[in-house]
Amino acid sequence: MKPQRADEVVLPMLIEAGVNHIDTAAMYGASEDRLSSWMANHRDEFFLATKTGERSGDAARAELERSLERMGVDSVDLIQLHNLVEEADWQTAHRAGGALEALAAARDEGLVKNIGVTGHGLRIAGMHTRSLAEYDYASVLLPYNWTVLDNPAYRSDVEQLLATCAERRVAVQTIKSLARGRWEDPGEPHFSWYEPLTDEAAIGRATQYVLANEQIFLNTSSDARLLPHILASATGDRQAPTDDELAADVKTFGITPLFDGDALERI
């Protein structure tokens, strides 16, 4: 996304639609830099979230400070441990001197308000449940769409996680609502690492499938060209699609799972 597109098109579109949550990450290219001019004048209008992929305390603290500098802000509303799914990463992040300890200290200093955890793949719902047993995270983020929930094991883990989050009042953010599958030419430049749906009606059904669950939040695709369709689906009359309609979309648009529990787990 070009800076002028973020400033002149995308972010004003969010305000008009009543969206007040921006989710970015230190590893999302120049994303944080491109938010700085907007944050200079509109910081109080948004819940601002970013992520760190670091696992040690010193590295996580340093990355958080760089994120604050890049966005030109004094604090963020949410800092998230990004893609915390591998055992070694999980252990390092949660041990003394790990990323969680450093982010908790940053929260005590007023640099962040909340700490969350994110992830991809079919193992992440179960790992989030484990993370919540270890620490009182404010939010979780994970893939959620009709195709990925067609996997019985993943659906079971998601249902358990949602029950825990409801009991603990943990926010549940979802991603990959519009995922069509992996790009056939992953080496080519794209606006998102997966291929999203582009048919307006299919986008509407995929969006409404997620929003039919009032417990969860929908994070939009990184492809800003799809944002008007997503916002229209989210702000219009809501009607949950049927399984038959979604199954038809799978067939019509060739939707395939992004993750398989094995070779496709690491992006």
For the chain, give every domain's residue range: 3-253
Position 264 scores a pLDDT of: 61
What gap in Å lies between CA 140 and CA 162, rounded to an integer? 10
Query: For the whole prediction, is pTM greater than 0.75?
Result: yes
CA angle (208 as vertex; 121, 29 as ends), nearest 5: 45
Tell me what pLDDT residue 34 has: 87
d(CA 219, CA 143): 10
Q: Which CATH number fits the domain 3-253, given the four candidates 3.40.50.720, 3.20.20.100, 3.40.1400.10, 1.10.10.10?
A: 3.20.20.100
Q: Give the model's pLDDT for residue 1.
A: 43
Determine which helix (DSSP H) or strand (DSSP E) holds 165, and give its type and residue range: helix 152-168
Strand pairing of 194-196 and 179-182?
antiparallel
Contact residues for 2 (Cβ-Cβ < 8 A; gap 6+): none
pLDDT in tens, the chain (267 residues): 444 555 567 888 888 888 999 999 998 888 899 899 889 999 999 999 999 999 999 999 999 999 999 999 999 999 999 999 999 999 999 999 999 999 999 999 999 999 999 999 999 999 999 999 999 999 999 999 999 999 999 999 999 999 999 999 999 999 999 999 998 876 677 778 889 999 999 999 999 999 999 999 999 888 888 999 999 888 767 788 999 999 999 999 999 999 877 756 765
Would you say the C-alpha torsion 261, 263, 266, 267 has a positive or negative sign?
A: negative
Compute CA distances 15 → 8, 10, 40, 213, whole Å.
Answer: 12, 9, 15, 24
What pLDDT score does 266 carry? Answer: 62
